Structure 1
Amino acid sequence: MQILLNGERVTTDASTLDELCARLGFGEAKVATAVNGSFVAAGARERTALSEADEVEIVAPRQGG
């Protein structure tokens, strides 16, 4: 399926947000996630199904200033 990930169209076969994060190397990382503009807490990612054309944001914290 095709989704929009951080503003870029990508193809994935991940069925949940948790699975997508793991495949992208964020499995155990502290990241903020949202699907279609709604925040998704870490504990809810494995219950958050992905669908064609979903807009997903994955944001990792940055240090510095």
Structure 2
Amino acid sequence: MTKANKFFLNGQEYATEQKISLLELLAYFNYNSALLVLEYNNFICNKKEWTKIFITNNDKIEIVTIVGGG
């Protein structure tokens, strides 16, 4: 039996039994990765690392979307 990893996305608790990268997580929630900044465990995460970082238990992920306007 696989143990679920609990994680927090924008303050809301989720769980997954799958090995999932940050990029896969963003795709699952339909985020446009070109228009956001991702904070992973209190550090701004470079987009080049999103495929290399996998969700682990108690991770905290904050997503800030960039909105333009005039």
Normalising TM by the smaller chain, what interval? 0.7 to 0.9
State how many pairs are aligned: 65
TM-score (norm 2): 0.76
1:11 CA displacement: 2.1
Match of 1:18 in 2: 23
Match of 1:6 in 2: 10
Larger radius of gyration: 2
Unaligned segments of structure 1, at least 5 residues: none
Task: Rate the CA distance shift 1:4–1:52 in 2: closer, same or farther, 3 A.
Answer: same
Aligned-partner Cα distance in 2 for 1:57–1:15: 16
Deviations 1:15-65 (A, max 9, x none): 211110110101544210011001111121001121011000111112347
Unaligned segments of structure 2, at least 5 residues: none
Identical counterparts, % of pairs:
25
TM-score (norm 1): 0.81
Secondary structure of the corresponding residue to residue 51 of structure 2: helix
Secondary structure of the corresponding residue to residue 31 of structure 2: coil
